[in-house]
Amino acid sequence: QVQLVESGGGVVQSGRSLRLSCAASGFTFSNYGMQWVRQAPGKGLEWVGIISYDGSNQYYGDSVKGRFTISRDNSNNTLSLQMNSLRFEDTAVYFCAKGTSYATDWGQGTLVAVSS
């Protein structure tokens, strides 16, 4: 069965960087696009970005463009999210999800809290 396990969340000061990881198993990781989605406390879902199956293309939401970078390591079945210049409003649970047009499987999420 598909398993996606996020890690790397925590408390970080505003302006600093953090890197999240997502370990994938139960499917052929290199065949699928992967996404990051976040949910701030008490708020709705917000799309962060997507990476193609081979890592050649990435697209981002407006609020993170230029600050966040999605990458993948198909040899180790790992998805990453490098978050730079973090802001208070980046505080959220970050989910990784499998799929390009539709997120068919999701991890449980990892909490990122940005403090001032």
> Under the rule (CB under 8 A), what is the footprint of another protein?
35, 37, 39, 44-47, 49-50, 59-62, 95, 97, 100-104, 106-109
Report the residue number, 8 or 61, with the smaller CB distance to another protein. 61
We find the least distance from the C-beta atom of residue 100 to another protein, in angstroms, to be 8
Report the residue number, 32 or 60, with the smaller CB distance to another protein. 60
We find the least distance from the C-beta atom of residue 94 to another protein, in angstroms, to be 12
Report the residue number, 77 or 100, with the smaller CB distance to another protein. 100
We find the least distance from the C-beta atom of residue 55 to another protein, in angstroms, to be 16
Nearest-angstrom CA–CA distance, 16 and 87: 9
Ramachandran angles phi, psi of 33, nearest 5°: -65, 155
